[in-house]
Structure 1
């Protein structure tokens, strides 16, 4: 399913433009963990598995001498290369289950919003192979909440968003189920003894109505809905946008709504 979804060029463009902003909280959490486990040693190499268009590769890059982003989607990697301006960042098409790195050579293997697509056992084995002693693994994602805040209209806006997720919920498949259990099953599959799972990390950010509509289209289970029922998916977008506009009235074009999500993160260190 992941291969089919992310090889869609239109979806790749929507995903790059509208997926929620990178979480600074998660970036800081990962880097703090790596610095502690690596005992402050200079960080030479990172691999960003399932990097997509480089959304997490780029903010990690200043902290490593070199970072390699990999993804199975050529269209995602093409966009990543298009927007890459950093000399220490490179991208290539490759599966997360076959990391392009030598044994014991990597300080961090990262995967943001991606590990639920992997064959976790094979990926975990590969991560253990390429990581240095005391090298780190970071797997993180988010799940959408219904909560939207805007002045005294928060309740009505939240009701609309709740109904959107209710409509999309039947299109959650076995891969994306990991999102809603906050990677608990992935955490359990990681073989390292030194590991931790941090859940329900609150993050909020500002979005306009067009950006929220783009966000909905960038969610993988919306694309599954679209493939199965084009008319229904298009109607969902049209009706949702109109409901938001009706609630906000004259402020609809200028309003910046506060969106809430919950992030989670699996951190592990090689013995």
Structure 2
């Protein structure tokens, strides 16, 4: 598996800098679900599993008394601690399949862009164990295909992204199967009756050329490519940037493109 890549500090820094921005729409949807299911009671504890550098951990902070971010990578947790901005947020190195929490102690178990890396049945079992009665489970990610839009150039720009993805496909881990099925297997593994599987959530992220290149660089597939053949990986990234700039022409430095992505989310409540 490619999990070892996330343990490298260089990748953790690139990930924090350039991975797709936090989606307020997804965060708001999850928080709305939690508040509905908990009938407005005070929320004590949330745990963000596979938290990475804490990008989705921090938005939970205003809504819970305590938030704990867990990740198997020391380097990700190290970066998370460097950017922590909330007094009620803490981080710990721990595996998703062995949560360091007491039974029935958590109001929300959350995982963003991470569940496909876990042993799903063990993680789900642990999530249910630590949830309080009325507690919620939420996990989400995006489908690995991107549309890049800008004026009349969208077809060509998206074509470049597709070509880039085709090359990076050679470095995919088996975990991508869980992403392609939009977490259907995660939904089916949850032994709770009250659950939802929401797919094809279309989200838009504005990006300039350097941000698109940084986004590609934050993919674990690119990091795997780079680890195996540094020269060819850097050449690939440079060619992608040149192609985008060629299509955009004189507007290459000023063009704010829209990156369209499809997210999906699994929600559940322990009744």
Q: Name the TM tier (shorter chain).
A: over 0.9
Gaps of 5+ in 1: none
Segment drifting more, 5-14 vs 162-171: 162-171
Is the 2:144–2:179 Cα contact (8 Å) retained in structure 1?
no
Name 2:152's counterpart in structure 1.
152
Encode CA deviations 1:151-173: one digit per residue, 9 max, x unaligned.
22112111111111111123222
Does 1:130 pair with 2:130?
yes
Name 1:11's counterpart in structure 2.
11
Does 1:255 pair with 2:251?
no
Is the 1:2–1:117 Cα contact (8 Å) retained in structure 2?
no
Name 2:118's counterpart in structure 1.
118
Does 1:270 pair with 2:270?
yes
Name 1:60's counterpart in structure 2.
60
Encode CA deviations 1:105-159: one digit per residue, 9 max, x unaligned.
1000000000011111111111111100011100110124331111221121111
Segment drifting more, 157-166 vs 42-51: 157-166
Per-residue deviation at 1:230? 2.9
Name 2:198's counterpart in structure 1.
198
**Secondary structure of 1:16's partner?**
helix
Segment drifting more, 15-24 vs 148-157: 148-157
Per-residue deviation at 1:2? 4.8
Does 1:21 pair with 2:21?
yes
Per-residue deviation at 1:44? 0.7
Name 2:170's counterpart in structure 1.
170
How big is the alpha-carbon RMSD for the aligned residues of Structure 1 and Structure 2?
1.2
Segment drifting more, 111-120 vs 95-104: 95-104
The correspondence of residues 182-193 of structure 1 with structure 2, limited to 5 A, is: 182-193=182-193
The correspondence of residues 16-55 of structure 1 with structure 2, limited to 5 A, is: 16-55=16-55
Gaps of 5+ in 2: none
Encode CA deviations 1:38-73: one digit per residue, 9 max, x unaligned.
111111100000000101001111110100001011
Is the 1:45–1:66 Cα contact (8 Å) retained in structure 2?
yes
Q: TM-score normalized by structure 1?
A: 0.96
Is the 1:137–1:268 Cα contact (8 Å) retained in structure 2?
yes
CA distance in 1, matches of 2:139, 2:192: 13
**Secondary structure of 1:34's partner?**
helix
CA distance in 2, matches of 1:72, 1:48: 12
CA distance in 2, matches of 1:177, 1:144: 10
Per-residue deviation at 1:176? 2.2
**Secondary structure of 2:239's partner?**
helix
Encode CA deviations 1:169-206: one digit per residue, 9 max, x unaligned.
23222112211211111111111121111011000111
The correspondence of residues 37-116 of structure 1 with structure 2, limited to 5 A, is: 37-116=37-116
